A and B are shown apart, each in its own frame.
Chain A
Amino acid sequence: MTSRLMFRVLGALVAFALLARIPVGFDVGFKFDAALAVIWAFGLLSLVLLTGYVGQISLCQATFAGVGAYTAGMMVSSVHVDYLVAVIAGVVVAFALGVIVGLPALRLRGITLAIVTLGIALVFDRYIFQDHAFEWFTGGTGGWRVGQATMFGLRMDSSTHLMAAYLVLLALFCLVALLLVNLHESGAGRRFRAIRDSELAAATMGVNLTRYKLLAFGMSAAIAGMGGSFYPLVAGSVSPQPFWLFTSLQFAAIAVLMGVRYVPAAALGGAFMAFVPDVLTRYGHGTFMGHAYEISYDWFQIAVGVLLIVQLIALPDGVWGDLRSRVRHARSAAGAVGGRRVKVA
């Protein structure tokens, strides 16, 4: 174990310890938001790998999460397996779908790839998640109800065990995030980044494009699917709405907003996606200077759009990326050499 790896492990542990304490004092609504934040953070993390490392565009990450969610819901409701098995099944199915979606990416890039993945998101949204022909997979119009489940043989109830689900999710997130940071600096990560910078040069230098692009899509889908497969446990049921087309677009927008090349930005974006709309609907109404106002969920969409424009001009490397380099710059300008310089990917 090198010192750099130790530092990273330590960082992951500290992050877990800090984040684990946050929702303790919250009411049920915010506890749900906290768990949801980690689920969305998985979706954003999948884009850090796919777009940030490998440079591939995908507008169907919510579809991968949805497939994970429905697979897990089906496994628990109809086969009654332990929830852990259901998660593994969700990850495997999402991985497989990711590899299939990756096939067109072998030929396409840029805007055409974006359109194709958008089409895939639309097809799943309309014709699979909401279609009667796939009721065996989606559990019909009501979706799967996962009121009760067992994990590690322990009973997990969606309404009373939100904290436990949150902790499991968070631990897994910290682990996957750590692996991704490691990957960035390793040989395979460099091969991914080589594809991002110049596909032609990567192929010429012996990087098997077919293999690494499919692997990237598969791994990315698996990460999104891992988050999604916890959705039934957290929400108690699965419905098409959280995994519709618009969530995929939101993933892309918020990943860019927060900094698509940075792992911690995914956590930041997840919290943003889960908490901000809820806070707005809870506290976003009242009277201001005699006028009644109400800030609805629609305002959140507009705010994301405006923030994205501001970010692209002011913080081109994303909120996290630019703040990080600014802090670093300030620190080196002040002449403070605070220990080793450690790159947080």
Chain B
Amino acid sequence: MTMLRVRDLTVRFGGIVALDRVSLDLNRGEILGLIGPNGAGKTTLFNCISGVVRPDTGSIYFDNHSLTYAPVHERARLGVARTFQNLQLWGSMTVEENLIVPMDALGRRNTFSDALYLPFSGYAERASRARARAILHVLDLDPYARTLAGDLPAGIQRRVELARALAMRPRLVLLDEPAAGLDAQETAHLAEVLHAVRQRFHVSMLLVDHDMSLVMRVCDYVYVLDFGKMLAKGEPSAIRNDPKVIAAYLGEESKKLPGDIQTIAAAKKDERPLLEVSKVAAGYGGLEVIRDINLTVRPGEVVACIGANGAGKTTTLRAISGMIHPRAGRVMFAGKDVTGSTAERISKLGLIHIPEGRGLFPNLSVEDTLRLVSNTAGREVDISPAFKLFSRLRERRHQLVGTLSGGEQQMVALARAILSQPRLVMIDEMSQGLAPTVVRQLFEIIRVFRDEGIAVLLVEQFVESALDVADRAYVFEHGTIGLSGPAVELRSDRKLVAGSYLGSAVDAAAIASGNGNGHHADPALMEIVSVRVPAKVKRALEQRAETENRPAGAVVVELLEKVDDQ
């Protein structure tokens, strides 16, 4: 039976159509996956269902209640809970308190009886506390009950988020990228936890994630979004082999033949590396995002870093350019050890980092932005070469950078980089949010960089285009480098690269064993968690379960399905 029914949802942000007549059905008891490349509209759809974004047209129904325009807290009342990708725990409260808030926000207690500490409030308080402990027990979080949520490492905070969502007694849990920042092992554990949660709490789930291995492991059914449209739907195994889906993730298969590139790569092979990264680990707060990264760039070489979102590409660039400090390992640039050096000092050595979002000043004109280079270079720099390279910028030299289109802004960033005559430019997600024609233009510029003898380290989501322009490439997987080699080889082995994106490494055995629950559960605590059924019904169920020799839960599910069918 359909629990969540999304029909013809359309969302526009300004002139951009983020979602275009998208429909989706989620059945009771199902774990539904929603995937798609960056900018496909997954988050927009997720936010419509959770109430953060209001759709322009279309409808969302949850168990015959219209959710389309319901306020956020009303959705909670109806039984829709969610987790947040960018952890939104209440950091100054203990983990236990984090769980109690949603429990009694939905209860009948009021502010004045609480302040007066009336007996009723005290009773409700104790009941909430016991239930919180039980939920923490299922998710293997008992030792953290009294810790402030803000003090926990990010991986555990993710599990607490899930626990808090369950504390609402939801019927549907929306999971926003629960595997973001987890390594392969933690992701596998998360898959187990999600199966255990479905069994014990009788909830359905909608899972949005980039991490395909998780989606493939836990989801019963998968929808794929691309450019705001529903591209495909089906069982995980079918989705993984769907050529349309692979194309959406990796870009169109290129027909260009590699001629000269191969020879350049061969010629560079013996040169001394310009950038040498060895065994680097880095992260944020309690979370280690990358570990054991080994990577080299030779002078005048174009190197691409590809891999799924959250695999650690951006963090690697940040660790190299000094925006964050590496926790281990060594970064050598132009023969100098720059590990842990400041970003300013590293850029003086000739390493330019164009971050995601381009790092421009929106209220400066194009010309002023380029003139700033003189300032950082410490000498007068002629800006006319930049206009020769990008004739479009010459026309807009007096326009404010913030008013330019995304592609033009990227041109400004590239022009600024080239003016400072660097030895290595690192570009993070150059093509993000840009139309394919613009992207093609920008990749032409990368060739100009190479001709000028400037080395380039690219982080790119359009894999095919990146491999077209690059000499060599590294494929990131879960914070380490999985594959590496000449771009030509990687491109010819399309299947291999697709595997790192779509998680073909997940074997069938792992999927089958994912249903088991790893840790031992205390039956007394389990009792509190399970659904309250009238005693008579419970006895009948137990009897039936005993005669048929299978778990009571299975009998209940079967009966519920029968009721649903009727």
Contacts and interface: CB of A to CB of B under 8 A. Distances in A.
Interface of A: 1-2, 5, 179-180, 182-183, 186-191, 193-194, 196-198, 200-209, 215, 219
B104 interface: yes
Nearest to B174: A204
Nearest to B110: A188
B125 A193 contact: no
26 contacts: A5-B117, A182-B114, A182-B116, A186-B114, A186-B121, A187-B101, A187-B124, A188-B109, A191-B104, A193-B92, A194-B101, A197-B89, A198-B88, A198-B89, A200-B84, A201-B88, A202-B90, A202-B101, A204-B51, A204-B72, A204-B76, A205-B105, A205-B164, A205-B165, A206-B73, A207-B102
A204 B93 contact: no
B183 interface: no
A197 B93 contact: yes
Contacts of A202: 90, 101, 105
A183 B168 contact: no
A122 to B, nearest CB: 31
B145 to A, nearest CB: 15
Contacts of B106: 206
Given A182-B117, A191-B101, A193-B93, A207 B73 contact: yes
Interface in B173-196: none
A191 B107 CA distance: 12
Contacts of A190: 93, 97, 100-101, 104
B544 to A, nearest CB: 36
Contact of B115 (A183, A191, A193, A198): A183
Given A198-B88, A201-B90, A187 B117 contact: no
A316 to B, nearest CB: 14
B92 A197 contact: yes
Nearest to B167: A205
B111 A204 contact: no
B102 A189 contact: no
Contacts of A188: 109-111, 114-115
B298 interface: no
Contacts, number: 110
B317 to A, nearest CB: 29
A215 B117 contact: no
B109 A205 contact: no
A183 B89 CA distance: 21
A206 B77 contact: yes
Given A5-B117, A190-B100, A215 B111 contact: yes
B105 A186 contact: no
Contacts of A180: 115
B109 A187 contact: yes
B275 interface: no
Contacts of A203: 71-73, 76
A1 to B, nearest CB: 8
B81 interface: yes
Interface residues of B, number: 42
Given A179-B116, A188-B109, A202-B105, 11 more contacts: A5-B117, A180-B115, A187-B101, A187-B107, A187-B109, A187-B124, A191-B105, A193-B90, A196-B90, A197-B93, A204-B72
Contacts of A206: 73, 76-77, 102, 105-106, 168
A interface, by DSSP: helix, strand, loop or mixed? Answer: helix
B89 A201 contact: yes
B82 interface: yes
A332 B124 CA distance: 33
By CB atoms of chain B within 10 A, which of A182, A187, A206 has the most? A206
Contact of A205 (B102, B110, B121, B128): B102
Nearest to A200: B88
B100 A204 contact: no
A201 B72 CA distance: 10
B117 A205 contact: no
Interface in B454-468: none
A209 B105 CA distance: 11
B120 to A, nearest CB: 11
B73 A189 contact: no
B52 interface: yes
B10 interface: no
Ranked nearest first, the 7 interchain pairs of A and B with the lowest CB-CB distance are A206-B76, A186-B114, A205-B102, A197-B90, A201-B88, A188-B111, A203-B72
Nearest to A215: B111
Nearest to B88: A201
A198 B91 CA distance: 9
A187 B125 contact: yes
B436 interface: no
B122 interface: yes
B82 A204 contact: yes
B50 interface: yes
B116 to A, nearest CB: 7
By CB atoms of chain A within 10 A, which of B88, B93, B105, B167 has the most? B105
Contact of A182 (B72, B89, B104, B115): B115
Contacts of A201: 84, 88-90
Nearest to A205: B102
B535 to A, nearest CB: 29
A183 B111 contact: yes
A76 to B, nearest CB: 28
Contact of B101 (A207, A208, A209, A219): A207
B90 A183 contact: no
Contact of A186 (B71, B76, B102, B125): B125
Contacts of B75: 204
A303 to B, nearest CB: 31
A174 to B, nearest CB: 14
A181 to B, nearest CB: 9
B135 to A, nearest CB: 13
Nearest to A187: B104
Interface in B7-23: none
A202 B168 CA distance: 12
Contacts of A204: 50-51, 72-73, 75-76, 81-82, 84, 88
Contacts of A193: 90, 92-93
A336 B105 CA distance: 39
B105 A179 contact: no
B543 to A, nearest CB: 37
By CB atoms of chain B within 10 A, which of A179, A203, A205, A207 has the most? A205
A144 B121 CA distance: 43
A207 B109 CA distance: 12
A187 B115 contact: no
By CB atoms of chain B within 10 A, which of A179, A182, A204, A219 has the most? A204
Contacts of A191: 101, 104-105
Given A180-B115, A205-B105, A194 B82 contact: no
A207 B107 CA distance: 10
Contacts of B102: 205-207
A318 B121 CA distance: 31
A194 B90 contact: yes
A208 B106 CA distance: 9
B472 to A, nearest CB: 43
Contacts of A179: 115-116
A318 to B, nearest CB: 15
B91 A187 contact: no
By CB atoms of chain A within 10 A, which of B71, B91, B104, B122 has the most? B104
Nearest to A178: B115
B115 A197 contact: no
Contacts of B89: 197-198, 201
A187 B112 CA distance: 11
Nearest to B92: A197
Contacts of B111: 183, 188, 215, 219
